[in-house]
Amino acid sequence: MTQERRKFRREGEAQRQGDLIAAALDLIAEGGPQAATVRAIAQRAGVTPGLIRHYFRTKEDLIGAAYAQFVRRMAEDHSATMDGAGPDPLARLAWFVWRALCPPLTDSRTVGLWAGFLHLVRNDPRMRNIHRTGYLSFRDPLESLIGECLAATGRSLPPRQLQAEAIAANALIDGLWLEGSVLPEDFQPDELPRLGVEKVGALLGLPLTDHLEDMQ
Amino acid sequence: MTQERRKFRREGEAQRQGDLIAAALDLIAEGGPQAATVRAIAQRAGVTPGLIRHYFRTKEDLIGAAYAQFVRRMAEDHSATMDGAGPDPLARLAWFVWRALCPPLTDSRTVGLWAGFLHLVRNDPRMRNIHRTGYLSFRDPLESLIGECLAATGRSLPPRQLQAEAIAANALIDGLWLEGSVLPEDFQPDELPRLGVEKVGALLGLPLTDHLEDMQ
DNA sequence: CCCGAAATTATACGCTTGCAGAATTACCGG
DNA sequence: CCGGTAATTCTGCAAGCGTATAATTTCGGG
């Protein structure tokens, strides 16, 4: 009855770190930071708790790494999708909005992570920096895109007003992101991205709806 | 050296429950649910931990009561402010937007609470009901107000499109609320509510900016 | 084939958590 | 002024937390 020691396989550092981070993100997304205990993370990653401390000096380090990956992945996902968007600014802006309001950016997992990390971000300067980077990597391209679109239609704004337009457009996207992520059952598929493209167009006075057919 | 027992005053049930709820909300707003331990709540409320169980069957009950009060108070605060807004629909809509983007609705405490409760709301049907009630008490009046404004300017929409306008306007407000609450230092006082009134007007094609002078 | 290094598990410790029940104290009605 | 009630404090417990470290297992290189 001497219960034998558990068998295991050796894995590379990158693999195990990745597994642990993924497990932590899953748990935070579902149940908030309180659900991401050392033991729960280890179990979901398929290892024993002690291993966490072999790859991360402390639990806080692991959570920090998880947040960094979360932010980086969001930014990468969205900027990568812009690569195949063609040259026309209007089409690009429509595509930008559309993609922001589809999974994986808009879904309940993402908003769960966002909310779960909020307090950690607010109380830790290191995390706040990570956050700001990701936030600007979304808002800055949006502002450029809006500038190009206005220029293409013959209008042109002073920087101050252009920034205000970007803030408002960004807010509209954020708000739809929020509503769609928190109450996904209240919207049909495509309803949210369609509404986003239409209303960002209305906000800026741009005929974005012309490009709705290109979406998918 | 027999350290003597702590002195205390008896308080009514309502008073003590209110204190405990307020303490719990403060802690959640600042540090998330994990900061709201039984002992921390009691300390901030100026009592000993055992008393919590005298007024609430369990900690979960207390948190639930706290959330209910949070939602109710938000709704009350905002609807109460509409009382002195006059009869003109346009002025009322402008006021509605303006007030949503000022404290106490827009500030870091509110977004902290919102994020802190998100996971509890998602995983507990009882809390989800409370949430939905509060959410609709904001969106429904907004939809009515938009309908009145459009009717007053001679336009009229089928219900489906009116709802879409309300969702978009609500999203714009939510998004500005989010940005202003998370990064308050990025905006000057009045910048956010002003932007909100202006852009909600742009979104709906309504001259809301005419009423900006009435705000304060 | 086997040995050493490193990855992984196992065990243990001190602290905090939510909860329970007994002991005490404040206050009200007589 | 005094006794009873219930509001409040106090003490303790079992479970879970993050962390530390020793014991084991895996696996590639000689």
DSSP structure string for A82-98? TTTS-S-HHHHHHHHHH
Q: Render B98-154 in DSSP notation, one character per residue.
A: HHHTSTTTSSHHHHHHHHHHHHHHHH-HHHHHHHHHHHHHHHHHHHHHHHHHHHHTT
Instruction: Indicate whether A1 belongs to any domain.
Output: no
Q: Are residues B132 and B85 in the same domain?
A: yes
Distance B32 CA to C24 C1' (A): 35
Residue A34: pLDDT over 90: yes
Predicted local confidence at residue A214, as pLDDT: 86
Q: For residue range A94-136, what is the model confidence (pLDDT) as tens digits?
A: 999 999 999 999 999 999 999 999 999 999 988 888 888 888 8
- Give which of A118, A124, A181, A190 to mutate to test B binding, by max B Cβ within 10 Å: A118
Q: What is the mean pLDDT of residues B24-53?
A: 98
Q: Are residues A89 and A183 in the same domain?
A: yes
Q: For residue range A176-211, what is the model confidence (pLDDT) as tens digits?
A: 999 999 888 889 989 999 999 999 999 999 999 999
Q: For residue range B111-161, what is the model confidence (pLDDT) as tens digits?
A: 999 999 999 999 998 898 888 888 889 999 999 999 999 999 999 999 999
Distance A107 CA to C29 C1' (A): 62
Predicted local confidence at residue B196, as pLDDT: 98
- Report the distance separating Cα A149 and Cα A44, nearest Å: 47
> Which whole-number Å values give the CA distances from A193 to A47, A216, B169, B195, in the listed order?
40, 10, 15, 23
Q: Residue A137 sits in which domain range?
A: 66-214
CATH number of the domain bearing residue B15: 1.10.10.60
Q: Are residues B44 and B128 in the same domain?
A: no
* B69 φ/ψ angles, rounded to the nearest 5 degrees: -65, -40
Distance B37 CA to C29 C1' (A): 39
B116 touches chain A (CB under 8 A): yes
Predicted local confidence at residue A108, as pLDDT: 94
B170 touches chain A (CB under 8 A): yes
Residue A2: pLDDT over 60: no
Question: Could you tell me the pLDDT band of residue B185, with boundaries at 50, 70 and 90?
Answer: confident
CATH number of the domain bearing residue B77: 1.10.357.10
A–B interface: beta-carbon pairs under 8 A: 115
| Contact positions of strand C to protein Cβ (< 7 A) | 7-11, 16-22, 24-27
What residues contact B136, with CB distance under 8 A and at least 6 apart? none
Domains of chain A: total: 2
Instruction: Indicate whether B3 belongs to any domain.
Output: no
Instruction: Indicate whether B104 belongs to any domain.
Output: yes
Instruction: Indicate whether A155 belongs to any domain.
Output: yes
All residues of chain B having their beta carbon less than 8 Å from the beta carbon of residue A118 are 32, 111-112, 115-116, 182
| Predicted complex ipTM | 0.92
**Residue A168 or residue A4, greater confidence:** A168
Chain B CA closest to residue A123 = B31
Q: Are residues A96 and A194 in the same domain?
A: yes
Instruction: Indicate whether B98 belongs to any domain.
Output: yes
Q: Are residues A108 and A134 in the same domain?
A: yes
Q: For residue range B88-105, what is the model confidence (pLDDT) as tens digits?
A: 999 999 999 999 999 999
Predicted local confidence at residue A152, as pLDDT: 94
Instruction: Indicate whether A179 belongs to any domain.
Output: yes
Instruction: Indicate whether A5 belongs to any domain.
Output: no
> Which whole-number Å values give the CA distances from A101 to A74, A170, A209, B101, in the listed order?
12, 12, 15, 23
- Give which of B37, B67, B119 to mutate to test A binding, by max A Cβ within 10 Å: B119
Q: Are residues A39 and A71 in the same domain?
A: no
| Contact positions of strand D to protein Cβ (< 7 A) | 7-11, 16-22, 24-27
CB B77 within 8 A of CB B104: yes
Q: For residue range A62-94, what is the model confidence (pLDDT) as tens digits?
A: 999 999 999 999 999 999 999 888 899 999 999
Residue A3: pLDDT over 70: no
Q: Are residues A27 and A117 in the same domain?
A: no
Distance B183 CA to C15 C1' (A): 36
CB contact under 8 A, B199 and A173: no
Does residue A48 sit in helix, strand or coil? Answer: coil
Virtual torsion, Cα A183, A101, B107, A61, nearest 10 deg: 100
Q: Are residues A43 and A78 in the same domain?
A: no
Predicted local confidence at residue B2, as pLDDT: 57
Q: Are residues B108 and B196 in the same domain?
A: yes
Q: For residue range B58-89, what is the model confidence (pLDDT) as tens digits?
A: 999 999 999 999 999 999 999 999 988 889 99
B118 touches chain A (CB under 8 A): yes
A202 touches chain B (CB under 8 A): yes
CB B121 within 8 A of CB B67: yes
Percent of chain A with pLDDT over 90: 83
Spell out residues with C-beta < 7 A from strand D: A 4-5, 7-10, 36-40, 49-50, 52-53, 58-60; B 5-6, 8-11, 13, 16, 47-51, 54
Residue A1: pLDDT over 60: no
**Residue B126 or residue A168, greater confidence:** A168
Instruction: Indicate whether A204 belongs to any domain.
Output: yes
Q: For residue range A16-30, what is the model confidence (pLDDT) as tens digits?
A: 999 999 999 999 999
Q: In the Cβ-directed half-sphere of B23, how many Cα atoms lie within 13 Å?
A: 23
Percent of chain B with pLDDT over 70: 99
Residue B4: pLDDT over 90: no
